Structure 1
Amino acid sequence: MSQYKSGVLFTVVGALLWGISGTSGQFLLQQRGLTSSWLVAVRMLMAGLILLVLCYKKEKGAVFRVWREKRDRRDLFLFAAFGLSFCQYTYFATISHSNAGTATVLQFLAPVLIMVYLSVKNRKLPRPAEMAAIVFAVAGIFLLATHGRLDSLAISQKALMYGLLSAVSVVIYNLQPARLIKTYGTLLALGWGMLLGGVLLSLVYRPWRIIGTWDAAAFAALLVIILLGTVISFSLYLEGVHRIGATVGSMLSSAEPLSATFLSVFWLGTSLHWTDLLGIALILSTVFLLTLKSKPVHASEAIHTEPNS
């Protein structure tokens, strides 16, 4: 298999695993009585430990070098608190008030928000394709939130609020740790960020206090979120993007909301209106619009990761 084909395969499988992770979260939150805060704290602690163990096997004591400089410690804290923790919490909170498909699609507004932010920062008007992406994103949100009716919301206000905050958090997650990732690598920065974010959340939400209903299905769903939806998915996706580039990778990452929506409907029985499907299509189309140029667009170069990601 060529490097390009294997890169496409790794990227798609990684994105699909993120979608499976989101649906597993919906199962735990809506059918087993867990809270998004407890789930996020446990996921971040366990995933952070696993990632750091993997990094330690490769780099040994060098995994601790991120703590040497004051600026690095500050940036790591900001990444953990306002990037990862905020992103994880708002994503699973959106799921708890709606479903995995809706939460993942709303999070996919992040590339458009990044594009708008960078356009304002650089004082540069968006290109026609980027303007179309903004229009499609707004139209998609409108259809998901209202089903085309101006007098009522089709999803709860909390679901819409958390979903939009989730997209904002992905912007922070993509832009804030750029220097850390460039200096120390993605997995090391992500591992420490996950672990530190989990510790910070544990100070408030106390994950050692077991809640909800636990059976074999619940334990299996939690393992899927931690192992498949975090460690393996990130490893595959990032390796895939390394082989094929961020532009193609951002397009293929649309497999995530598609898998989350499919599983949410056929596994958990979530019902979708035709306007939901149209809204999903409009929002996903923004990823393709943001790649329609001769060289990679700044928004599409920000790799979408769900930390659901």
Structure 2
Amino acid sequence: MDTNTAHSQKKGCIMTLSGGILWGLSGTCGQYLMQAKGLTADWLIPIRLVLAGILLLGVCAWKDGKRVFQIIRERKDLVDIIIFGIFGMSMCQYTYFAAISYSNAGTATVLEYIGPVLVMLYVSFRTGKAPEKVELFAVILAVLGTVLLATHGNLKSLVISHQALFWGLVSAVTLAIYTVQPGRLLNKYGSMLVTGWGMMIGGILLCLFFRPWTMNVSVDGTIIGGMAFIILVGTIIAFVCYMEGVKRVGPKKGSLFAAVEPVSATVFSVLLLHVSFGLMDLLGFVCIVSTIFLLTKDKQR
């Protein structure tokens, strides 16, 4: 490996890790706004998606001009991007922050990371191939991790709320949809344009459904600053860092580095919001995050 390639790989590793860390910090910031400032996912997510979508599409328009509208001119692409915006982008974001509101950023992020296991099961079903041993082990770890998080080993009772468990598991399902559904569009238009339109469409839908402008929210400097951080740093900058890093290191290493997100969300929850986790919580975290490393070892699927 020559010096330039090594430098590019090193820079890619740093950028990919930075994206995952910023995503985790974004979840912690959302937890603070909901628990300390009284915001709800019904208000926070529609606003976040619409504003982030506008900014991303603005960047795309600056780079590619009128091509930014091509995706909504072709009927098949328009249908696919609407489906992605509704069932992928908006539902993934909403269910994730709903899980945070009933628990914390660390727990919600870890539960969401069951999504890759669901993707693996979907691919196995779609291709008609039975999961390999390492994949089956990943499924077992995901189930074990979820049980430890939810019950601490006592199957007769839950240690997290039913709402937290429900929204966390639904967020894993929507993450799987978010990952699989837009594949054709990503190949055709690129991730930034697809993400921008997904955010815009999903955000508009949630705005029409929840009508955040009717909610009694006392917007102050803290809320404005927190929302600005979530949108600019935790969404735009994190996304650009991660995607640029993946270009340099490849999707296999990129997916491994993305596993820093639940770790960073947990660490920031402890350091900034003083959330406490027990041994069983940490064991559950390790089980679920380990599935990322196991599934990344799979060569093609």
The two structures have a TM-score, normalised by structure 2, of 0.96
Within 5 A, what are the aligned runs for 1:3-152?
3-152=8-157
Contact 1:33 1:211 in 2 (8 A): no
Distance 2:200 2:127 in 1: 34
The structural deviation recorded for 1:213 is 4.5
Contact 1:32 1:212 in 2 (8 A): no
Tell me, what secondary structure is at the counterpart of 1:2?
helix
Q: Deviations over 1:75-117 (max 9, x none)?
A: 1110111111111110000000000000100111111110011
Within 5 A, what are the aligned runs for 1:145-184?
145-184=150-189
The match for 1:290 is 295
Distance 1:150 1:170 in 2: 27
Distance 1:21 1:167 in 2: 18
Distance 2:260 2:235 in 1: 16
The structural deviation recorded for 1:210 is 5.2
Instruction: Report whether the alignment pairs 1:237 with 2:242.
Output: yes
Q: 2:274 is matched with which residue: 254, 269, 276?
A: 269
Distance 1:276 1:155 in 2: 10
The structural deviation recorded for 1:125 is 1.2
Q: 2:253 is matched with which residue: 237, 248, 257?
A: 248
Q: Deviations over 1:108-129 (max 9, x none)?
A: 1111110011111212111111
Distance 2:19 2:151 in 1: 31
Letter in 1 for 2:214: R
The structural deviation recorded for 1:218 is 2.3
Contact 1:136 1:282 in 2 (8 A): yes
Tell me, what secondary structure is at the counterpart of 1:152?
coil
The match for 2:3 is none
Letter in 2 for 1:89: Y
Q: 1:204 is matched with which residue: 182, 205, 209?
A: 209
Distance 1:122 1:65 in 2: 31
> Could you say which structure has the higher helix fraction?
2
Q: How many residues align?
A: 296
Distance 1:260 1:75 in 2: 31
Shifted more, 122-131 versus 273-282: the winner is: 122-131
The match for 1:215 is 220
Distance 1:96 1:174 in 2: 24
Letter in 1 for 2:290: S
Structure 1 unaligned blocks of 5 or more: 299-309
Distance 1:267 1:244 in 2: 31
Distance 2:283 2:218 in 1: 36
Letter in 1 for 2:128: R
Structure 2 unaligned blocks of 5 or more: 1-5
Q: Deviations over 1:270-300 (max 9, x none)?
A: 111110001001111111111224x24x2xx
Shifted more, 227-236 versus 200-209: the winner is: 200-209
